[in-house]
């Protein structure tokens, strides 16, 4: 925990002692599901509990997390499961027919964690596929496929990542996830906004569903039960389930998992800090419950999400959290002209501890490629191509001093081939990272890739008026496409190939996928080249 958060957290804990209600009590609980034999025996489930699918994530050379949640009636409290512990059997095999089961056991699905199951499966072989499944009360889950990371120090090879972000359910169908499920990727990197906290209309927005969305979804999520409902709706989508079943996911959050544009302990509505931290605790708990993350679970309103993954000697992936520790946005948020507040060295986005962790790791890395999974645009982006300059106060541009620290650190590690992956903007961008972003002749030290959103933003267009403004005002920006989709990144020792993929519409299902642009980045020669 950073020093400046401690007084606010203590305040929230004092306030918690005066609060009542099951949702608040559960949000601050500390019991952690494990892989020991469950003491609850039969769960007494009378309907299929695997309505939210299965998933895996956070692959290591010898381990991977497998996940499910028991929810026979996902839109009811606790997913329609009884308020008691339930033993869940799990298996991991080297073949999809489970002829060779190599790991198995029983996990305990606990009601205080919404009967979610997180199994950290250990002692696996590096760099290979596995298949996994769960069973409870005679019900068998779908089969998921996962993959471990290569062995430490392994030379060469190929790393293939699917990358996207921002999947607002009412903004349209998850057609992109269905196509991603057919890609042969080693892992999916998801860059934030897994859910949106907003209420949902009966028609389900652009989905215009035949069966009305239940009335409990009309209000914005702020309690633990309401966040759980939002995840249940999103995760009930068969295309999202298919994408999770195909490969392990490495996830981070942005703002909408809690509240739009929140900053650390500051809410969008400037609610009292102690009240907002209760909401943040609820949101963080629900996030952990619904994604394949290792323990420990969030402790109240705090969760250590930033972490690092290594893929042999080929690539290292550092995952950032740019919401939990940030200072409030400068100048009231939005797009604003330059100011002293924007450049104030006391204001932070990632926070000093996390920034130092990332830069230390980068300085000590021995891999060919160094990838940063990041939520908001890190490079300079000017919305106004005239001399006035307009910067996004919610992105790294709004935190100029810390932005300079990180960009200088990347520039000093040009030989380590830095690649920044970014979400948030509901568009596909590709840009060179420059010593001087205003000078096209300035040294390039890395690339920033912004795969477009899975669904947020609706159908989209190839290039909007604002997209053209970005192209006109930012010479380092090489590509803009504002339709929905994802990118596939293929790393080897010589180069990175980037394929930007989009679908033409998402307001109805069945859209085809196409590659609209491909780039190559040569190892040792930073910069985007059109393939």
230: domain CATH number? Answer: 3.60.21.70
Q: Confidence class of residue 387 from pLDDT cuts 50, 70 and 90?
A: confident
Model confidence at 131, pLDDT cuts 50, 70, 90, reads very high
Q: Of 124, 146, 168, which residue is a domain's last?
A: 146
Mean pLDDT of 217-228: 98
Q: Looking at the structure, do residues 172 and 134 belong to the same domain, yes or no?
A: no
Tokens of 362: 């980068």
- The pTM of the full predicted model, rounded to 2 decimals, is 0.93
Please list the helix, strand and coil fractions of the chain in percent, rounded to the nearest 5, in that order: 25, 30, 50
- Does the residue 35 lie in any domain? yes
Rounded distance, CA 418 to CA 143, Å? 36
Q: Could you list the residue range(s) of the whole structural domain that residue 193 is in?
A: 3-30+156-530
Helix (H, G, I), strand (E, B), or coil: what is residue 295? coil
Does the pLDDT of residue 62 top 80, yes or no? yes
Residue 223 in domain: yes
- The DSSP annotation for 430-477 comes to EEEEESSTT-TTSPEEEEEEEPPBSSTTTTEESS-HHHHHHHHH-TTE
The answer to whether residue 236 is domain-embedded is yes
Residue 111 sits in the same domain as residue 204 = no
> What number is the average pLDDT over the span 328-333?
96
Confidence of residue 16 (pLDDT cuts 50, 70, 90): very low
111 and 185 fall within a common domain: no
CB-based contacts of 165, cutoff 8 Å, min separation 6: 190, 191, 192, 193, 254, 375, 423, 424, 451, 453, 454
Crossing angle of helices 224-235 and 238-246, rounded to 10°: 80
- Which pLDDT score is estimated for 389? 86
The verdict on residue 51 lying in a domain is yes
Domain identity same for 116 and 192: no
Residue 358, phi then psi, degrees to nearest 5: -65, -50
Portion of the chain with pLDDT greater than 70, in percent: 92
Which residues does 173 contact at the CB level (< 8 Å), separation at least 6? 207, 239, 455, 506, 507, 508, 509
Q: Which of 88, 116, 146 is the last residue of a domain?
A: 146
Task: Report if residue 468 sits inside a domain.
Answer: yes
Encode burial over 387-403: b for 16+ CB neighbours within 10 A, e otherwise. eebbbbbbbbbbbbebb
pLDDT at position 494 over 60:
yes
**Tally of domains in the chain:** 2
- φ, ψ of residue 13 to 5 degrees: the values are -70, -40
Residue 88 pairs in a beta bridge with: 107
43 in Cβ contact with 49 (< 8 Å): yes
* 519 within 8 A of 430, measured Cβ to Cβ: yes
User: Which phi and psi (to 5°) does residue 109 adopt?
Assistant: -90, 115
**Considering only CA atoms, which of 188, 196, 190, 208 is closest in space to residue 168?**
196
Asked if 186 and 288 sit in the same domain, the reply is yes
What is the rounded average pLDDT of the residues 31-43?
A: 41
List pLDDT tens digits, range 142-153: 999 999 999 999
Q: Please, what is the average pLDDT of the chain?
A: 92
More confident residue, 193 or 21: 193
| Cα–Cα distance, 39 to 42 (Å, whole number) | 9
Question: Average of pLDDT values for 168-178?
Answer: 98
Domain check: are 25 and 35 in the same one? Answer: no
Question: How far is Cα 444 from Cα 527, in angstroms, rounded to an integer?
Answer: 6
Q: How far apart are the C-alpha atoms of 169 and 196, rounded to whole Å? A: 8
- 76 is a domain residue: yes
pLDDT for 63: 98
Is the per-residue pLDDT at 19 higher than 50? no
Q: Is the pLDDT of residue 225 over 60?
A: yes
Asked if 243 and 304 sit in the same domain, the reply is yes
Task: Say whether both 121 and 179 belong to one domain.
Answer: no
Strands 63-69 and 335-336: unpaired
Average pLDDT for 179-203:
98
Q: Does a structural domain hold residue 264?
A: yes
- pLDDT for the residue numbered 388: 80
DSSP 118: E
Domain ends where: 146, 171, 193?
Answer: 146
90-101 average pLDDT score: 98
**Residue 151 forms part of a structural domain:** no
Give the residue with greater pLDDT, 14 vs 349. Answer: 349
Question: Any idea what the CATH number is for the domain that residue 99 is in?
Answer: 2.60.40.380
Question: 487, 501 in Cβ contact below 8 A?
Answer: yes
Q: CA nearest 251: which of 220, 294, 280?
A: 294
Contact yes or no for 259/287 (Cβ under 8 A): no
The packing angle between helices 273-289 and 6-16, to 10°, is 90
Verify that 337 and 359 share a domain, yes or no. yes
Average pLDDT of span 277-285:
98
pLDDT tens readout for residues 401-436: 999 999 999 999 999 999 999 999 999 999 999 999
Contact 141, 50 (CB under 8 A): yes
Largest CA distance in the chain: 69
Kindly report, residue by residue over 363-385, the tens digit of the pLDDT. 999 999 999 999 999 999 998 87
Residue pointed to by tokens 């025996």: 41
Mean pLDDT of 46-68: 98
Share of the chain above pLDDT 90, in %: 89
Whether 386 has a pLDDT exceeding 90, the answer reads: no
Residues in the chain: 531
pLDDT digits (tens, 9 = 90+) for 297-323: 998 999 999 999 999 999 999 999 999
Pairing status of strand 159-164 against strand 187-190: parallel
**The pLDDT of residue 30 is above 70:** no
CB 500 within 8 A of CB 429: no
Rounded to whole angstroms, the Cα distance separating 298 from 304 reads 8
Do 45 and 68 lie in a common domain?
yes
Both 497 and 366 in a single domain?
A: yes
Is the same domain home to 162 and 64?
no
**pLDDT > 80? residue 28:** no
Q: What is the pLDDT of residue 42?
A: 63
Q: What is the pLDDT of residue 41?
A: 46
Cα separation of 419 and 427, whole Å?
18
């Amino acid at each position: 925990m950073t020093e400046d958060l401690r007084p606010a957290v203590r305040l929230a804990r004092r306030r918690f002692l005066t609060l009542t209600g099951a949702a608040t009590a559960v949000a601050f609980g500390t019991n952690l599901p494990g892989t020991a034999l469950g003491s609850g025996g039969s769960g007494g489930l009378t309907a299929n509990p695997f309505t939210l699918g299965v998933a895996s994530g956070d692959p290591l050379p010898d381990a991977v997390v497998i996940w499910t949640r028991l929810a026979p009636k996902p839109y009811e409290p606790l997913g329609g499961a009884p308020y008691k512990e339930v033993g869940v059997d799990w298996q991991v095999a080297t073949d999809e027919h489970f002829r060779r089961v190599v790991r198995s056991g029983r996990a305990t699905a606990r009601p205080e964690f919404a009967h979610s199951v997180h199994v950290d499966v250990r002692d696996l072989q590096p760099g290979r596929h596995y298949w996994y499944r769960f069973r409870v009360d005679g019900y068998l889950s779908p089969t998921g496929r996962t993959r471990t990371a290569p062995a430490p120090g392994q030379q060469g090879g190929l790393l293939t990542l699917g990358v996207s972000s921002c999947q607002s359910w009412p903004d349209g169908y998850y057609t992109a996830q269905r196509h991603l499920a057919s890609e042969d990727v080693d892992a999916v990197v998801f860059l934030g906004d897994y859910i949106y906290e907003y209420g949902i209309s009966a028609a389900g927005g652009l989905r215009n569903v035949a069966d009305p969305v239940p009335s409990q979804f009309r209000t914005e999520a702020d309690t633990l039960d309401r966040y759980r409902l939002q995840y249940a709706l999103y995760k009930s989508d068969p295309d999202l389930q298919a994408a999770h079943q195909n490969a392990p996911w490495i996830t981070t959050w942005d703002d909408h998992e809690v509240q739009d544009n929140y900053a650390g302990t500051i809410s969008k509505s400037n609610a009292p800090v102690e009240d907002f931290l209760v909401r943040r605790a609820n949101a963080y708990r629900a996030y952990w419950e619904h994604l394949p993350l290792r323990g420990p679970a969030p402790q109240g309103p705090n969760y250590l999400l930033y972490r690092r993954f290594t893929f042999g000697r080929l690539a290292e992936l550092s995952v950032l959290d740019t919401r939990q520790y940030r200072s409030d946005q400068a100048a009231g948020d939005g797009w604003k002209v330059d100011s002293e507040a924007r450049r104030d060295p006391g204001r932070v986005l990632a926070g000093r501890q996390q920034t130092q962790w990332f830069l230390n790791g980068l300085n000590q890395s021995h891999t060919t490629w160094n990838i940063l999974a990041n939520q908001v645009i890190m490079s300079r982006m000017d919305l106004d191509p005239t001399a006035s300059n307009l910067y996004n106060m919610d992105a790294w541009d709004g935190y100029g001093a810390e932005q300079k620290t990180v960009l200088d650190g990347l520039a000093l590690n040009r030989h380590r081939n830095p690649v920044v992956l970014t979400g948030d903007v509901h568009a596909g961008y590709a840009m060179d990272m420059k010593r001087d972003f205003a000078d096209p002749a300035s040294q390039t030290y890395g690339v920033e890739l912004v795969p477009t959103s899975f669904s947020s933003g609706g159908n989209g267009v190839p290039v909007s008026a604002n997209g053209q403004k970005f192209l006109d005002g930012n010479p380092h920006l090489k590509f803009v496409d504002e339709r929905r989709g994802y990118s596939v990144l293929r790393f080897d020792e010589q180069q990175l190939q980037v394929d930007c993929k989009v679908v033409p519409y998402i307001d109805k299902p069945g859209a085809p996928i196409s590659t609209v642009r491909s780039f190559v980045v040569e190892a040792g020669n930073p910069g985007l080249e059109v393939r």
